Amino acid sequence: MNWFIIYFFTGFYFDILLTMYYIKIYEKSVITSGILSMAITAFSTIVLYYILLSPDAIPRIIAYALGNGFGTSLTIYWNKK
């Protein structure tokens, strides 16, 4: 069950990066959005590689998706303040 925690927090951190990327694009921050774009591309490719190679991919995708939802919610909450 350790993989659930790993994939949950991986999805959580990924979605914080992704949501911050969209916020920086909205703010027209060129350098920051470029750096975040590179990090997101590398991060998502590596995660996808490991998920697809795992024998039980569906539960890992669900854990990752739960982390994504939680990460988006918290990032939007933090930026509302």
* DSSP string covering 11-32: HHHHHHHHHHHHHHHHTT-HHH
pLDDT digits (tens, 9 = 90+) for 34-48: 898 999 999 889 988
Range of the domain at 10: 2-80
The chain-wide mean pLDDT, for the chain, equals 89
| Domains of the chain: total | 1
Residues of the chain with pLDDT > 90: what percent?
Answer: 32
pTM score above 0.85: no
Residue 81: what pLDDT? 64
pLDDT digits (tens, 9 = 90+) for 16-25: 888 888 888 9
